[in-house]
Amino acid sequence: MSIAAYKQTIRESETPRQIERRILSRLTGQLEQHARAFDAAETRSERQALLAGGLRASLTENQAMWRALKHDLAAEGNALPPDMRASLLSLALWVDRQTTAVMGGARGLGALVAINRSIVAGLSGQPPRPEG
């Protein structure tokens, strides 16, 4: 099966919620690989080196995912209850600001990972797992 056919099969067999969960899970895993070292780094230059080592690309992709979610949440016809939409929009704005700060070398990658984990759990229909 070609890659294009495989991707088509996935699109036809997964719900949008499942696709969001799968993508966000993958992104969260990528961020988790760097979170402990990044937030423990003593200097901004140490954090900048981690960013240059592949973390920046993962953060950029995560930020793009959240921007797409924000766009969907703000769209007319979104079926989520208004209070949930407002909460998720607020969270998307926070993720955008936090990502920008982290890409600038500030600590806080672990907070982004925690938010993503909580959303993945919600998309899976499970309560968020405790920090550990």
Structural domain that includes position 83: 3-124
Cα separation, 44 vs 87, in Å, equals 32
Q: Which runs of consecutive H residues, i.e. helices, occur in 14-81?
A: 16-40, 44-50, 56-74
Domain-embedded: residue 9: yes
Q: Is residue 129 part of a domain?
A: no
pLDDT score of 8:
62
pLDDT tens for 73-127 read 999 999 999 999 999 999 999 999 999 999 999 999 999 999 999 999 988 887 6
Number of domains, the chain:
1
Within-domain flag for 132: no
On whether residue 130 sits in a domain, the answer given is no
pLDDT tens-digit map of 10-20: 556 788 888 98
Q: Which two tokens stand for residue 65?
A: 């995912």
Which of 34, 30, 54 has the alpha carbon at shortest distance from 109?
A: 34
Determine the Cα–Cα distance for residues 97 and 101; give it in Å rounded to an integer.
Answer: 6
For the entire predicted model, the pTM comes to: 0.82
